[in-house]
Amino acid sequence: MEDFKKLRELMVEQQLIPRGIKDERVLKAMETVPRHLFVGDAFPERAYDDCALPIGEGQTISQPYMVAVMTELLELKGDEKVLEIGTGSGYQGAVLSLLAAEVFTVERIETIALKTQERFRRFKYTNIYVVVGDGTLGLPEQAPFDGIIVTAAAPQIPDTYIKQLKVGGRLVIPVGSRFSQMLYQVRKTPSGITTSASTPCVFVPLIGKYGWDETEAQYPAY
Ligand code: SAM
């Protein structure tokens, strides 16, 4: 039987702090959320490894470091309304739920969305709401958001997200080609947006009206 609490502490000490994650609230949330309960039956013993893992349907649960970087770039204080695009396993959503007031998460693959919704219910994450649909449209009925986090790779920044951010709000999104991207933090200002590059990354494609076309999308190696 693995000591998952110990593995989480090691994950924070060895993978996150040395690579520059500083936000104490983010580190605490990563130390708290039981990642092994989100990876599916096949991989609990690999849950705290320094890599992404498959979750079925050709999709992945992101590397712990990537979850931490993206969460830190949202600059959450606790009272925010956040939109996540790409629910996947629900792990990123669970981390966000400890750091914000409300989290809305959109997933295009219904089987994944339903499984994860049940997981949130079972583990009592009560401030996360799962929506099935094309997340490139954002979630206009719940806008505006303090933060929007996109956990799939976009060919460019969809304007829908900028429109649905509050002034001062942050969008965190991987943008680039199908097989390699740069992670950006985009801040909405009274006069437009400012954009800063964070780290290179590789995500599965954001497929939808303002993302990649499904027929073109092939999955990267991880
Ligand atoms: N955040 C997830 C987690 O914590 O496990 C990882 C997400 S996985 C890397 C990317 C997810 O984005 C996949 O589940 C995929 O089906 C979903 N996705 C891709 N395009 C989408 C879209 N247009 N709208 C909503 N979800 C989308």
Best mutation site among 109, 110, 120, 222 for ligand 1, i.e. most ligand atoms within 8 A of its Cβ? 109
Q: What is the mean pLDDT of residues 121-139?
A: 98
CA angle centred on 126, ends 104 and 29, rounded to 5°: 80
Query: What fold does the segment set 50-201 form as a domain?
Result: Rossmann fold (3.40.50)
DSSP string, 83-152: EEE--TTSHHHHHHHTTSSEEEEEES-HHHHHHHHHHHHHTT-TTEEEEES-GGG--GGG--EEEEEE-S
Bigger pLDDT: 59 vs 149: 149
Sequence ranges of the domains in the chain: 50-201
Residue 69's pLDDT is: 98
Task: Quote the ligand 1 centre to 18 CA distance (angstroms).
Answer: 28
Indicate if ligand 1 lies below 6 Å from the C-beta of 130.
no
Best mutation site among 38, 51, 69, 87 for ligand 1, i.e. most ligand atoms within 8 A of its Cβ? 87
pLDDT digits (tens, 9 = 90+) for 52-67: 999 888 888 999 999 9
Backbone dihedral angles phi then psi of residue 187, each to the nearest 5 degrees:
-115, 130
Q: What is the mean pLDDT of residues 130-154?
A: 98
pLDDT digits (tens, 9 = 90+) for 1-28: 579 999 999 999 999 999 999 999 999 9
Indicate if ligand 1 lies below 6 Å from the C-beta of 60.
yes
Question: For residues 68 and 26, is the Cβ–Cβ distance under 8 A?
Answer: yes
Indicate if ligand 1 lies below 6 Å from the C-beta of 108.
yes
Neighbours of 197 (CB within 10 A): 10
What is the reported pTM? Answer: 0.96
